[in-house]
Structure 1
Amino acid sequence: MSSERYLWADWPAPDGVKALVTSRNGGVSEAGFSSFNLGLYSGDDQESVRANRQLLQQDLDLTSSPLWLKQVHGIDVADTDVDGQEAEADASVSRKPGLACAVLTADCLPVLFCNQEGTVVAAAHAGWKGLVAGVLEATVRSMNVPADTIIAWFGPAISQHHFEIGPEVREQFLAEDMNCSEAFIPGKGDRWFADLYSLARRRLNRLGVSHVYGGEFCSYDQSDLFYSYRRDGKESGRMASLIWLEA
């Protein structure tokens, strides 16, 4: 397995739970997509992306392809046991060993979940639209275990000092949680800078999920490791964050 391709989650998950995020390195994509792009509809050559996905599956010794989603910034949660490839959802849950949940990101926040018993795992794609709509809440509900037994890990997302938003975005968060104002710092004029990590952590804590790890990355700053749509525009590839129960 190529170590340059993967960053393993650093969290106290139980034995048998495997979780990682891919880097942008060690694949076959070229030009701005160099090189381990896993986003099939990112504008990259699709054969290159399929080759990268095959490398991923071989490296991780998965019994089948991860459940790749058609992500739409919503709150639907797919089930690896019943949903086929390209399910329109922004999260997935798995209870069957060898069936991996996967989400693609390039600035949005990937959140991986497991329970302390190691019987269920989940992955969520949480950009600001998904966060405010409730994708994390929907994912936790889909796991169907007590919230205080859930462990979460934050993969790489855009950091606050690069994530500029308009006042209408901030107002949507404040409408649901007036105390989340600490997750925003003023920019120029009416603009603000939002902290996706802080907003996600608050929402999980409100659900009763207090065991939350990760959050030390910046997809925008760490260009040697990660793709960033805000930094690279249309030639941005996608990282994958995956979690599965070991077969």
Structure 2
Amino acid sequence: MTHDAARLQSKDCVVPQWNVSPRVRAFVTTRAGGVSDAPYDGGRPGAGGLNLGFSSGDAPEAVKENRRRALASTGLRHAAWLEQIHGTQVEDAHAVIERLAAGERTRADGSVTDRAGVVCVVMTADCLPVLFCDDDGRAVGAAHAGWRGLVGGIVEKTGERVATLAGVPASKLNAFLGPAIGPETFEVGEEVLDAFVAAASANRRDATKAAFTPTGGAPAKYFADIYALARLRLADIGIDAARIHGGAHCTVTEKERFYSYRRDRVTGRMAAMIWLTD
């Protein structure tokens, strides 16, 4: 495999459209722009895939090259790759990178930093990636929000950590909801609805229930709107709707663009990356 200077093209990424400091850089990868073969390919015949997950079953050398390409697009050499566990642990991204250099992995689902040149990253293939920053680019963070992490508070915890580092109230943060499973394809059982309602603040329980629509098929089955649920949790820490961006994709139905575990089972992983420049 050749290691050329390949970087991702703009069409191979989803970039947040938010009005923040140019110090803040961020993108979410798609399945395109890499070297992985099927079923981790780029979604079109002959197109290499940008699978970034070592645990997916893909060839390790392909994943290494794909990660090199993703990092080359940041202009940096290291990122805070996490061992995600669908939990609520949030770590300092620089500390994660130091542990990786020492051969140690970090089990967590969020990372934050106020240091320039440190990349916060989470991987997904249907779960919701949420990126955070303040207006002036003092701090950034990334959260991996599957339904368990979302109901457990990973979004609030990551946002609050970013706000603390930035020295601003959480209401002054911006959040970007990256590509995730859409509201017409995320089928869940009643236990998921009950978990979200039980965890919701009293004034948001009705809105939380409204994020679940009966499928009309099997009893006690619902389509969950993970984007709406995330917006409610962000509102709980004071982030206004005008500061919440993204949330317009469906990883399941946009087969040529995104990996989806729910759709394919054997599939790759995309990455949501955010960092600060000097």
Q: TM-score normalized by structure 1?
A: 0.96
Q: Matched residues in 1 for 2:257 and 2:228: separation?
A: 22
| Pairing 1:183–2:211 present | yes
Q: Matched residues in 1 for 2:121 and 2:20: separation?
A: 17
Secondary structure in 2 matching 1:26: strand
Q: Matched residues in 2 for 1:104 and 1:97: separation?
A: 21
1:87, distance to aligned residue in structure 2 (A): 1.1
| Pairing 1:137–2:143 present | no
Secondary structure in 2 matching 1:93: strand
Indicate if the aligned counterparts of 1:5 and 1:36 stay in contact, CA closer than 8 A. no
Structure 1: give runs of 5+ residues left out of the alignment.
none
Greater CA deviation, 134-143 or 157-166?
A: 134-143
Aligned position for 1:99: 118
Equivalent residue for 2:13, pick from 2, 6, 28: 6
Secondary structure in 2 matching 1:54: helix
Q: Matched residues in 2 for 1:148 and 1:138: separation?
A: 14
Aligned position for 2:44: none
| Pairing 1:43–2:43 present | no
| Pairing 1:147–2:170 present | yes
Aligned position for 1:76: 89
Which structure has the larger Rg over C-alpha atoms?
Answer: 2
Q: Matched residues in 2 for 1:102 and 1:118: separation?
A: 17
Structure 2: give runs of 5+ residues left out of the alignment.
1-6, 42-48
Aligned position for 1:55: 69
Q: Matched residues in 2 for 1:146 and 1:46: separation?
A: 42
Q: Matched residues in 2 for 1:222 and 1:81: separation?
A: 34
Amino acid in structure 2 at the alignment position of 1:2: L
Q: Once the two structures are superposed, what CA deviation does each residue of 1:31-68 show, in whole Å capped at 9, x if it has no partner?
A: 10111000111111111101110111122211x31100
The equivalences for 1:194-233 within 5 A come to: 194-210=224-240, 211-233=243-265
Indicate if the aligned counterparts of 2:87 and 2:148 stay in contact, CA closer than 8 A. yes
Q: Matched residues in 1 for 2:187 and 2:14: separation?
A: 27
Indicate if the aligned counterparts of 1:93 and 1:101 stay in contact, CA closer than 8 A. yes
Q: Once the two structures are superposed, what CA deviation does each residue of 1:107-162 show, in whole Å capped at 9, x if it has no partner?
A: 00000000112110000000100010110111122121311110000000000110
Amino acid in structure 1 at the alignment position of 2:160: R
1:195, distance to aligned residue in structure 2 (A): 0.3
| Pairing 1:237–2:237 present | no
Q: Once the two structures are superposed, what CA deviation does each residue of 1:9-50 show, in whole Å capped at 9, x if it has no partner?
A: 111222110010001011011110111000111111111101
Secondary structure in 2 matching 1:33: coil
Q: Matched residues in 2 for 1:97 and 1:126: separation?
A: 25
Secondary structure in 1 matching 2:274: strand
Q: Matched residues in 2 for 1:7 and 1:50: separation?
A: 21
